[in-house]
């Protein structure tokens, strides 16, 4: 009987594949795999097909087995899946909030190595550092994306049009059909791109409100 229990626990741990670990956490962060939700601490081992959720003033930095890093800001929710096949792309889904992504280029993969999906679009990445955020409303229909390094392709879900965004540029994904042409977005210049706590603070203090806030700053008379 004891042998059966041990065998079952061994099977359950090996079927939940480890895909990375948490390298920094601040505040309340949870990780959900299936129906099991756990509080996250540093060195937490991440299993495939898990979802992270950060609460107010919380932050988590994740290091994945494919070399990528993700910094999930407060009040955000992100699902992660890393395939066994190293030539297939890592997939993430951002459900709310905002996140920074750092993806190491894989010379073996000609297509996108990392995919981020939002409600409006799919972002394909080969080797880069970029930021994605939903708009200012809780259930916003729009989102923003800007690139710090590398190249990101943006494809709205209901459109065949693909937009390539270079370093220093960003786009406003208005809905499932529309994305603005890439251009420099002044409000993204102060984003905190850090992923290593030893090199400085990791908190991002730029609010998505500032993407819209230029309007109030402008004088007309």
Q: Does 24 bind another protein (CB under 8 A)?
A: no
Q: Does 215 bind another protein (CB under 8 A)?
A: yes
Go through the chain and tell me how many residues it has: 221
Q: Does 32 bind another protein (CB under 8 A)?
A: no
Asked if residue 112 lies in contact with residue 126, where contact means CB atoms within 8 angstroms, the answer is: yes
Quick check: 85 binds another protein (CB under 8 A)? Answer: no
Q: Can residue 176 be called a binding residue for another protein (CB under 8 A)? A: no
* Cβ–Cβ < 8 Å for 187, 204: no
Scanning 36-44, 72-80, 104-112, 209-217 for contacts with another protein by CB under 8 A, the matching segment is 209-217
Please tell me whether residue 174 binds another protein under the rule CB under 8 A: yes
CB 124 within 8 A of CB 102: no
What is the closest distance, in whole angstroms, from the C-beta atom of residue 180 to another protein in the complex? Answer: 4
Q: Which residue has the tokens 């894989």?
A: 106
Measured distance CA(50)–CA(37) in Å, rounded: 10
Q: Judge contact between 148 and 177, C-beta under 8 A.
A: no
Please identify, using beta-carbon distances, which residue of 137 and 198 lies nearer to another protein: 137
Enumerate binding residues for another protein (CB under 8 A).
172, 174, 180-181, 211-213, 215-221
């Amino acid at each position: 009987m004891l042998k059966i229990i041990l065998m079952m626990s061994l099977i359950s741990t090996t079927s939940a594949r480890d895909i990375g670990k948490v390298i920094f956490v601040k505040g309340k962060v949870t990780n959900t795999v299936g129906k099991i939700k756990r509080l996250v601490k540093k060195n937490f081992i991440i299993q495939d097909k898990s979802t992270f959720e950060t609460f107010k003033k919380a932050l988590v930095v994740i290091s994945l087995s494919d070399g990528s890093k993700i910094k999930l800001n407060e009040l955000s929710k992100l699902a992660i899946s890393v395939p066994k096949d190293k030539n297939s792309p890592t997939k993430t889904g951002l459900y709310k909030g905002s996140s920074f992504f750092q993806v190491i280029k894989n010379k073996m993969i000609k297509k996108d190595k990392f995919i981020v999906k939002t409600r409006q679009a799919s972002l394909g990445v080969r080797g880069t550092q970029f930021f994605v955020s939903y708009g200012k409303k809780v259930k916003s229909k729009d989102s923003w994306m800007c690139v710090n390094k590398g190249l990101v392709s943006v494809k709205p879900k209901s459109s065949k049009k693909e937009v390539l965004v270079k370093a220093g540029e960003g786009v406003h994904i208005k809905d499932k059909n529309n994305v603005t042409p890439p251009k420099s977005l002044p409000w993204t210049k102060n984003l905190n791109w850090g992923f290593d706590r030893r090199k400085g603070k990791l908190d991002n203090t730029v609010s998505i409100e500032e993407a819209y806030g230029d309007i109030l700053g402008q004088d007309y008379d």
